Structure 1
Amino acid sequence: MKLVDIYRVKTFVVPEYVDAVVQGVLSIDDLRVGNYKNVMWQSKSGVEQFVPGEEAVPTEGESGEKTTLTSLRIEFSIPRDESLLRRVIEEGIYPNHPWDEPVVQVSEEREARKQE
């Protein structure tokens, strides 16, 4: 067993854009864990809510009005390499996500690898 330093990346996206965001991420990194690639988790549907500000350019909803939509959480890990992290977010997630300011959460964690 070996512990490796990783970034855990999470984002929330409406169902019709999930495949585009996933393919965008996979175009930057194949999300390899041991002998497996494209390792990613998707949650069941949840509810996302927001109120666009006056300067927002919302894909859904109107400025100043609460909007609720069904969304899924996409979660994956990558090696702890800040350059790779920036590419995954800036080239993989942002251009494929419908929101002008998508929520992307990043945490530094360690994962166990059975294969060394």
Structure 2
Amino acid sequence: MKLVPIYRIHTYVVPESLDRVLEGVLHVDDLIYGNYKNVAWHSNDGIEQFVPSKNSMPTEGDIGERKQVTSFKLEFSIPRDKHLLLKVIEEGIYPNHPWDEPVVQVTEAFETRKHG
């Protein structure tokens, strides 16, 4: 067994855009975990809440009014490589995400690998 340094990435996306965002990420990186590729997780039917400010360009909701939408949490990991991280966010998530300002959270972590 070994420990591998990774970035753990979470983003929240409406159900109808989940596949598009995931495919955008997979276009940048294969999301390899051990002997598997395209490894990602998502939860179903959470509620995302926000109030668009006057400087926003909301896809949903009106400026100054609270909006709640059904949202999925998409999460995956990549090797701890800052260049790859920026590419995944800027080329994989941002252009495929419907929100003006997608929530993207990144943590540094370790994953185990049983083999290799």
Assess same fold via TM > 0.5.
Answer: yes
Matched residue pairs, number?
Answer: 116
In the alignment, the residues of structure 1 paired with residue 30 and residue 91 of structure 2 have an alpha-carbon distance, to the nearest angstrom, of 14
| Residues 1:7 and 2:10 aligned together | no
Which residue of structure 2 lines up, in the alignment, with residue 103 of structure 1? 103
Instruction: Provide structure 1 residue ranges, at least 5 long, that are not aligned to the other structure.
Output: none
Which residue of structure 2 lines up, in the alignment, with residue 21 of structure 1? 21
Any idea what SS the aligned residue of 2:32 has?
coil
In the alignment, the residues of structure 2 paired with residue 75 and residue 97 of structure 1 have an alpha-carbon distance, to the nearest angstrom, of 14
What amino acid does structure 2 have at the position aligned with 1:106? Answer: V
TM-score by length of 2: 0.99
In the alignment, the residues of structure 1 paired with residue 3 and residue 78 of structure 2 have an alpha-carbon distance, to the nearest angstrom, of 13
Which residue of structure 2 lines up, in the alignment, with residue 90 of structure 1? 90
Could you report, residue by residue, the CA deviation over 1:33-59 in whole angstroms, capped at 9, with x for unpaired residues? 111000000002100000000010000
Instruction: Provide structure 2 residue ranges, at least 5 long, that are not aligned to the other structure.
Output: none
TM-score by length of 1: 0.99
| Residues 1:31 and 2:15 aligned together | no
- Runs (4+) of structure 1 moved beyond 2 Å? none
